[in-house]
């Protein structure tokens, strides 16, 4: 059977349960697609043997009429999730050969539900980036890159490999992490669905930390329903993560319907940023109209501290990162570059082990936490963060969910913003607020730019209300009817 | 305690505060489930969390929190309802995360106090500034193997309580009294074993001096590594004298960290650091603020044992002991319990004397703790009963005590087996007395002139009876026969 790599999670699950296809066939199709799609550089490590062994085991369970939520379904895992016995690099030289002896809670849950690991997806180094160009394993190519375009378009970041793999039909779904937009922005750039749940919904245990108070795992898929299914398997309380929430996980897939009648959808005024392309403004208005047409009420809301979100984020995230990355010192695991003495060994190890963007953020973070600067930067940023949270609390008194663009542009060329970090950071303008407030957010492909590149719309919900987020996303998905296929999609 | 340093130019006063690191008694570490037992093979008690592996997260050990609260209550201190764990960032090979999780601006325990009984019979309060919870670092072994430093992470992540005092200490001996009292309190509540040799109780001292009468504080030096009761006073005194000499010679005291060299009995600056540390403290985003509910604190308060100060007051009140004896007995909870078991239904002062003099003496001789005492309190009680019943003399009692202590046999059994019971039968003693008087006519004449000589006759009778004759009976009999009334 050809084209198995094009099946979505739910479609494939139905066929697997009916025994019309086997998990091994499905895995083989994806592995073949991965091989053909290697030019995209979506994977740092492919795990074909493990995939086939897991698929065989899944087939055995399916044959006995058993199996979990994801039995036999192949997925890609962002190479930031520790996988026992499988190299986990965080796309960094410093962890290039690191093989964890433990499994992240999220991936452990996936394997317990019968999912099949295809490989570890490329990303920005330590998830720091918006273009997947900071990976020590090379940039990822967006499958939407038009033929003949060199050097290619970025898939967004940091979960660029995951997004590109799903968009190019290398796999039906993938995990990601989102600290400032790292799931939603690449989902938008690659024309797929990406959900970042409420902070605390998924355990962070075993995920290489970037910024602990912002990091949250989430899911990529080509439909809202598939994303809901994957997230449902990933989510849940974990006593090993003190910030994970002891709340039941709703049956998002079972309850999923494009229901927006009676919902109040907030349109945040402050998200009309200067210089935003007209086509994005148009798309946003069209999205709002789709929801109104399906019975939602549109309300204009104000998030007055929005303009402070980006500087706040770029203080808090690097501050936490500077401390989180201190453990990569060459002493116990990972790269060690010997120097004259201890301090020299530290300097060489970290100087050679970390790429430029990671070093930049460590320096920024170290600076903002330093004596004499702490109050002006870190403490102030925490206060602004509190205001941003309150902005959302007030907005959600007047509406049930917010609609906004996901990113201020479509995918850009590799290298385009690499020499201007501020321009690069502006990519996160609509997404970082959601991380600062710990809210659930989803990006849904809603249309194509004039250049034929996908554009996403973002739905933001109340804390723990992924249910509404999925419902609104599903309504947008239905109205948008997005079915365009990227030029570099892989056929097997 | 009036203690001053007489310098060339006048008298100087010591101002000293202590920082104590007390290892929390807990089977597991502060943020991981790894074991904490002392003396295990290197790197065998290390979880991936302790080793700072990628993606690992700390989870607070609730038992360690309870231990800190109990300690706070024993220090008569405020328990803070909300406290915050922060990261103290610095690089060192025995610090795998690159930061130590500690408490900085919001410790779990606030102000408290510890009362010291000074030798002159007065009481002095030493203020407690704070107590906070933090992780211990690992251990670096320099020079164990040529050209390399070995790191043992067993200790890494073990829960410590850092206890900081106010600069209330004015004499080196007060620091020792404070440490002893703190150790006693920690052991009473069972939150730290107080073992300084194994490093479960470590002390740094902040020392400064000022002219007597001056109210401003001088510049202080932090003295590290004063890790035995013996060295605490020495190190503080040395440092205070060093500062006085420096100041009197026109120098200034640099605020610095100095190390106490126990072998040389002096302090010296620790190897110079390339730059001053900026620890970049900030709240640990992996941990939520620690909130304590009133019910927990109330339960822990209710579970507290009777603490040494209260026990001491009760011993004075109930048993009529001197404050000094009571103080000696309550220093160790096990000793106080031992005493009470012996004193129950007996003469408490006598019980106290026997416990303090004979028992503590015998234990010290064998280098034993009260917990390892071979003589159970019932046995000592039995001995006191034999004494009270007049069945053995005081001298025999001491003999029996030592035999019982060594052999573990019961005093009554020893007395019976060795026929040590006191002879109170006049009929048995009289022939001996008569023979003695008949054999020593010159001494008899002496005794009639100088009644003190009767003592010589008593001694002879005791010798003749192997110490078993009742000395009072012998004395009465002799006086009667010598016509001394």
Q: Domain ranges in chain B?
A: 4-298, 305-417, 426-481
User: One of A22, A131, A135, A158 is an active-site residue; which one?
Assistant: A158
Q: Tell me how far apart the 2 most distant CA atoms of chain B are, in Å.
A: 99
Task: Please report residues of A whose CB lies closer than 8 A to that of B57.
Answer: 204-205, 240-242
Task: Say which residues have a Cβ less than 8 Å from residue A343's Cβ, sequence separation at least 6.
Answer: B274
The domain B426-481 having CATH identifier 1.10.10.410: the answer here is yes
Query: Cβ of B48 and A204 within 8 Å?
Result: no
Is A158 annotated in the active site? yes
Of A117 and A429, the structure prediction assigns the larger pLDDT to A117
Q: Residue A207's closest chain B neighbor by CA?
A: B55
- Which of B34, B49, B55, B99 would best serve as a mutation to test chain A binding (most A beta carbons within 10 A)? B55
The span from the CA of A258 to the CA of A405, in Å, is 19
User: One of A104, A182, A322, A418 is an active-site residue; which one?
Assistant: A182
Shortest distance between the Cα of A242 and any Cα of chain B, in A, equals 6
Q: What is the residue extent of each domain of chain A?
A: 4-263+434-480
The residue among A367, A308, A51, A100 whose CA lies nearest residue A207 is A100
Cβ A477 vs Cβ A221: under 8 Å: no
A240 part of contact set with chain B, CB < 8 Å: yes
Query: Cβ of B274 and A343 within 8 Å?
Result: yes
Q: Residue A239's closest chain B neighbor by CA?
A: B59
The span from the CA of A269 to the CA of A281, in Å, is 12
Name the packing angle between helices B308-319 and B323-330 (round to 10°): 140
Shortest distance between the Cα of A224 and any Cα of chain B, in A, equals 29
Task: Please report residues of B whose CB lies closer than 8 A to that of A370.
Answer: 278, 280
Contact map slice: A 253-312 vs B, CB within 8 A: none
Query: Cβ of A242 and B286 within 8 Å?
Result: yes
Report the pLDDT value the prediction gives residue B272, as an integer from 0 to 100: 53
Report the pLDDT value the prediction gives residue B271, as an integer from 0 to 100: 58
| Average pLDDT over all residues of chain A | 96
**Helix or strand or coil: residue A415?**
coil
Q: Is the peptide bond before A158 cis (omega within 30 degrees of 0)?
A: yes
Please give the ipTM for the structure prediction. Answer: 0.96
Contact map slice: A 339-378 vs B, CB within 8 A: 342-343, 346, 366, 369-371, 374, 378
**Helix or strand or coil: residue A440?**
coil
Task: Say which residues have a Cβ less than 8 Å from residue B320's Cβ, sequence separation at least 6.
Answer: B348, B349
Report the pLDDT value the prediction gives residue B274, as an integer from 0 to 100: 46
Pick the CATH number of A4-263+434-480 from 1.10.10.10, 3.90.1300.10, 3.30.1280.10, 3.90.105.10: 3.90.1300.10
Report the pLDDT value the prediction gives residue A419, as an integer from 0 to 100: 79
Which candidate from A331, A332, A366 shows the least CB-CB separation from B280?
A366
| C-alpha dist (Å) from residue A216 to A127, A184, B454 | 11, 12, 97
Per-residue pLDDT of chain B (485 residues; tens, 9 = 90+): 689 999 999 999 999 999 999 999 999 999 999 999 988 999 999 999 999 999 999 999 999 999 999 999 999 999 999 999 999 999 999 999 999 999 999 999 999 999 999 988 899 999 999 999 999 999 999 887 888 889 999 999 999 999 999 999 999 999 999 999 999 999 999 999 999 988 999 999 999 999 999 999 999 999 998 888 889 999 999 999 999 999 999 999 999 999 999 889 899 998 554 456 899 999 999 999 999 999 999 999 999 999 999 999 999 999 999 999 999 999 999 999 999 999 999 999 999 999 999 999 999 999 999 999 999 999 999 999 999 988 888 888 999 999 999 998 999 999 888 888 877 778 888 888 888 888 988 888 888 888 888 889 888 888 888 888 888 888 888 888 888 86
The span from the CA of A161 to the CA of A123, in Å, is 6
The span from the CA of A447 to the CA of A454, in Å, is 6
Is A244 annotated in the active site? no
Task: Please report residues of B whose CB lies closer than 8 A to that of A95.
Answer: 54
Cβ B289 vs Cβ A243: under 8 Å: no
Which residue(s) pair with B423 in the sheet? B469
Q: Residue B60's closest chain A neighbor by CA?
A: A242
Cβ A201 vs Cβ A469: under 8 Å: no
The residue among A368, A376, A379, A337 whose CA lies nearest residue A354 is A337
Task: Give residue A1's pLDDT band: very low, low, confident or very high (50, 70, 90).
Answer: low
Q: Residue B290's closest chain A neighbor by CA?
A: A242
In Å, how far from its chain's centre is CA B83? Answer: 30
Task: Please report residues of A whose CB lies closer than 8 A to that of B60.
Answer: 242
What number is the average pLDDT over the span A391-408? 97
Task: Please report residues of A whose CB lies closer than 8 A to that of B286.
Answer: 209, 212, 242-243
A102 part of contact set with chain B, CB < 8 Å: yes
Q: Is the pTM value of this prediction over 0.90?
A: yes
Query: Cβ of A329 and B91 within 8 Å?
Result: yes
Query: Cβ of B282 and A243 within 8 Å?
Result: no
What is the per-residue burial (b if ≥16 Cβ within 10 Å, else e) of B120-155?
A: eeeebebebbbbbbbbbbbeeeeeeeeeeeebbbbb
Size of interface A-B (CB pairs under 8 A): 96
Query: Cβ of A242 and B287 within 8 Å?
Result: yes
Is A104 annotated in the active site? no
Task: Please report residues of B whose CB lies closer than 8 A to that of A346.
Answer: 91
């Amino acid at each position: 059977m050809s084209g198995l790599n094009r099946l979505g999670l739910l479609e494939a699950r139905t066929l697997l349960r009916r025994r019309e296809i086997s998990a091994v066939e499905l895995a083989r199709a994806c592995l073949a697609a991965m091989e053909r799609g290697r030019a995209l550089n979506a994977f740092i490590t492919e795990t074909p043997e493990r995939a086939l062994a897991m698929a065989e085991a899944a087939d055995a369970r399916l044959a006995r009429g058993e199996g979990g939520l994801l039995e036999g379904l192949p997925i890609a895992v962002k190479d930031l999730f520790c996988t026992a016995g499988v190299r986990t690099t965080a796309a960094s030289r410093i962890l290039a050969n690191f093989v964890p002896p433990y499994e992240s809670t999220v991936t452990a849950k996936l394997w317990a539900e019968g999912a099949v690991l295809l490989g570890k997806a490329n990303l920005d180094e330590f998830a720091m980036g918006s273009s997947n160009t900071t990976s020590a394993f090379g940039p990822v190519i967006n499958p939407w890159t038009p033929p003949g375009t060199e050097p290619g378009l970025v898939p967004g970041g940091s979960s660029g490999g995951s997004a590109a793999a799903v968009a190019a039909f290398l796999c039906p779904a993938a995990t990601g992490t989102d600290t400032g937009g790292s799931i939603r922005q690449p989902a938008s750039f690659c024309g797929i669905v990406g959900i970042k749940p409420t902070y605390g919904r998924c355990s962070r245990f075993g995920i290489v930390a970037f910024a602990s108070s912002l990091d949250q795992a989430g899911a990529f898929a080509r439909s809202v329903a598939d994303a809901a299914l994957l997230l449902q398997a990933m989510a849940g309380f974990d006593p090993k993560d003190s910030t994970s929430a002891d709340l039941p996980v709703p049956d998002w897939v079972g309850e999923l319907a494009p229901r927006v009648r009676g919902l109040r959808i907030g349109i945040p005024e402050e998200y009309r940023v200067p210089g935003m392309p007209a086509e994005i403004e148009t798309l946003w208005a069209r999205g709002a109209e789709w929801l109104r047409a399906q019975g939602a009420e549109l309300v204009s809301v104000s998030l007055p501290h929005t303009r402070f979100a980006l500087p706040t984020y770029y203080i808090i995230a690097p501050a936490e990162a500077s401390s989180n990355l201190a453990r990569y010192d060459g002493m116990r695991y990972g790269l060690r570059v010997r120097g004259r003495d201890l301090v020299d060994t530290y300097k060489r190890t970290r100087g050679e082990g970390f790429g430029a963007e990671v070093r930049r953020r460590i320096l920024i973070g170290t600076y903002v936490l330093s004596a004499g600067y702490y109050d002006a930067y870190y403490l102030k940023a925490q206060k602004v963060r509190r205001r941003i949270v309150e902005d959302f609390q007030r907005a959600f008194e007047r509406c049930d969910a917010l609609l906004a663009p996901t990113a201020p542009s479509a995918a850009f060329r590799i290298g385009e913003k690499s020499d201007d970090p501020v321009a690069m950071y502006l990519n996160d303008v609509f997404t970082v607020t959601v991380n600062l407030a710990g809210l659930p957010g989803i990006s849904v492909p809603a249309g194509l730019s004039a250049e034929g590149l996908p554009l996403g719309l973002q739905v933001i919900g109340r804390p723990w209300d992924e249910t509404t987020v999925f419902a609104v996303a599903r309504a947008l998905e239905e109205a948008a009817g997005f079915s365009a296929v990227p030029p570099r999609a892989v056929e097997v | 305690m009036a203690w001053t340093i007489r310098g060339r130019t006048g008298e100087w006063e010591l101002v000293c505060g202590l920082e104590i690191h007390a290892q929390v008694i807990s089977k597991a570490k502060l943020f991981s489930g790894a074991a904490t037992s002392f003396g295990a093979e290197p790197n065998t008690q290390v979880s991936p969390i302790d080793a700072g592996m990628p993606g690992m997260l700390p989870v607070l050990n609730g038992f360690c929190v309870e231990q800190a609260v109990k300690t706070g209550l024993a220090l008569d201190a405020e328990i803070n309802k909300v406290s915050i764990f922060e990261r103290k960032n610095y690089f060192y090979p025995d610090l795998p995360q690159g930061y130590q999780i500690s408490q900085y601006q919001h410790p779990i325990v606030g102000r408290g106090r510890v009362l010291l009984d000074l030798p002159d019979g007065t009481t002095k309060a030493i203020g407690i500034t704070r107590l906070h919870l933090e992780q211990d670092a690992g251990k670096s072994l320099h020079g164990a193997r040529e050209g390399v430093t070995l790191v043992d992470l067993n200790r890494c992540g073990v829960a410590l309580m850092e206890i900081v005092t106010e600069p209330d200490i004015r004499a080196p001996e007060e620091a020792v009294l404070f440490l002893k009292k703190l150790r006693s309190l920690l052991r009473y509540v069972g939150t730290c074993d107080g073992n300084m040799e194994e490093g479960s109780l470590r002390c740094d001292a902040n020392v400064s001096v000022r002219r007597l009468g001056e109210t401003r504080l001088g510049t202080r030096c932090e003295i590290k590594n004063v890790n035995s009761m013996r060295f605490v006073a020495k190190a503080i005194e040395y440092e205070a004298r060093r500062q006085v000499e420096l100041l009197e010679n026109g120098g200034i005291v640099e605020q610095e960290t100095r190390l106490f060299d126990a072998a040389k009995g002096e302090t010296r600056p620790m190897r110079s650091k390339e730059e001053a540390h900026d620890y970049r403290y900030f709240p640990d985003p992996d941990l939520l603020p620690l909130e304590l509910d009133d019910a927990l604190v109330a339960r822990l308060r209710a579970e507290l044992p009777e603490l040494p100060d209260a026990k001491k007051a009760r011993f004075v009140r109930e048993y009529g002991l001197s404050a000094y004896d009571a103080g000696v007995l309550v220093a160790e909870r096990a000793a106080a319990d031992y005493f009470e078991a012996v004193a129950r239904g007996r003469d408490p002062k006598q019980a106290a004397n026997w416990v303090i003099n004979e028992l503590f003496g015998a234990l010290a001789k064998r280098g034993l703790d009260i917990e390892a005492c071979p003589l159970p309190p019932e046995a000592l009680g039995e001995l006191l009963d034999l004494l009270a019943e007049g069945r053995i003399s005081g001298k025999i009692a001491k003999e029996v005590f030592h035999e019982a202590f060594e052999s573990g046999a019961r005093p009554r059994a020893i007395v019976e087996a060795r026929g040590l019971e006191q002879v109170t039968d006049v009929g048995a003693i009289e022939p001996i007395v008569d023979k003695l008087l008949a054999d020593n006519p010159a001494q008899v004449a002496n005794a009639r002139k100088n009644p003190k000589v009767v003592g010589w006759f008593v001694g002879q009778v005791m010798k003749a009876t192997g110490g078993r004759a009742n000395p009072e009976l012998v004395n009465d009999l002799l006086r009667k026969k010598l016509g001394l009334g």
